[in-house]
Structure 1
Amino acid sequence: GDADHGINMTRGFKKAMQKLPALADKDIGHILHNIGMILVSSIGGASGPLYGTFFLRSGSALKSKEELTTDDLYTSFQAGVDGIKERGRAQIGDKTMYDLWVPALAALKNAADNKQSPETALWLAIIAAEQALKDTIPLQAKKGRASYLGERSIGHQDAGATSSYLMLKTLLDTVTAES
């Protein structure tokens, strides 16, 4: 792309963090919905609408929830990933964040089907995401600003997949710290 992805993500998530204290007494769905609205309005490029949609859809799936089971986690991520696919019209192999979310989501589904804890489910999702992140390196970008680079996008990790990985890892770190 044009190398501003990290700057845009930092700006959006800083604004979301500033809003969190005002949302402390709200349910998980409400919090995620608010974060989604902030991200849509404050992250530039395609990432703002994509991440915003992820959080908005995840929030809708978790309306009125105060705690999360592994099934809830999977359901919310499924809604969010569906939103990314629909909004970005992404396919596996396009070298986008979607390339990371699909295997991570499959790992969450497997964990939910096998009655694993949310923490274990997130660990499994991270393992899948790490490999998916590496798998974006040899791809040529077909979507987003990176697609303008054509063959020059080959050999570089996708920025959206990288920020998605960092978001997922931060969630795991938070869940692990709280347990």
Structure 2
Amino acid sequence: MLDAEFFRRWMTATATSVDREAQRLTDLDSPIGDADHGSNLQRGFVAVAATLEKEGPDTPGAVLTTAGRQLISTVGGASGPLYGTLLRRTGKALGDAGEVSQEQLADALQAGVDAVMALGGAAPGDKTMIDALVPAVDALGESFGAAKAAAEEGAAATTPLQARKGRASYLGERSIGHQDPGATSASLLIGALLEAAGE
């Protein structure tokens, strides 16, 4: 079973990953976006880690809703509302339980992904974070490792796609050949689950 401490570790591990990969995320964002994806998320997750340490929410759902709220208030551009919605909706779906199973996390994360798709209007194949999140949620029932691999494969598979949503969609065919930064950061979020589990 996964408790609040696991979810705090997940958010802290994500903050560490984003911090480490911030330059790469920004480099991916340069040709097809505003060249600020890495720095924006870095600022957001630093704030998340600090807030969780200070407030110490004591249920899995509360950890994620707190993290989501923090991202919405500190991250500029589209990624704040999208990541904030993902975490808040996932947290809300987990409810007030003190512990949740991996299966419950997968179901809750599915609710979060659905909320992001509704907010951004993106579907799989549109070259967005959804391309990493959908396969990851499908694989989460199997293991955290499978989810991480699925997210990374989904992110890599955005390279040959033409963007149909977001800033990159303005470039039309020129967006082809670039890996989507949002899908890449989403794969970091999913990969951090494995670290939180200590695997």
Aligned partners of 1:2 and 1:146 also within 8 Å: no
State the one-letter code of the partner of 1:19: T
> C-alpha displacement at 1:135, in angstroms?
0.6
> C-alpha displacement at 1:24, in angstroms?
2.4
Identity, in percent, stands at: 49
For residues 134-169 of structure 1, the C-alpha deviation after alignment (integer angstroms, 9 at most, x for no partner) is: 110001111111112222211111010000001111
Q: 1:98 aligns with which of 126, 130, 133?
A: 130
**TM-score normalised over the length of structure 1:** 0.88
Aligned partners of 2:90 and 2:109 also within 8 Å: yes
For residues 24-82 of structure 1, the C-alpha deviation after alignment (integer angstroms, 9 at most, x for no partner) is: 25211111111111111111111111100001111111122232312111112111111
More moved, 162-171 vs 141-150: 141-150
State the alpha-carbon separation in 2 of the partners of residues 96 and 128 from structure 1: 15
**How many positions carry a matched residue from both structures?**
167
Query: Cα RMSD over matched residues?
Result: 1.3
* Structure 2, unpaired ranges of 5+: 1-32
For residues 64-122 of structure 1, the C-alpha deviation after alignment (integer angstroms, 9 at most, x for no partner) is: 2232312111112111111111111111111000111111111124x2xxxxxxxxx21
Aligned partners of 1:23 and 1:31 also within 8 Å: no
| Residue in structure 2 matched with residue 71 of structure 1 by the alignment | 103
* Structure 1, unpaired ranges of 5+: 112-120
Aligned partners of 1:50 and 1:87 also within 8 Å: yes
More moved, 151-160 vs 63-72: 63-72
Relative contact order: is structure 1 or structure 2 higher (C-alpha 8 Å, sep ≥ 6)?
A: 2
Q: 1:140 aligns with which of 162, 175, 188?
A: 162
| Residue in structure 2 matched with residue 124 of structure 1 by the alignment | 146
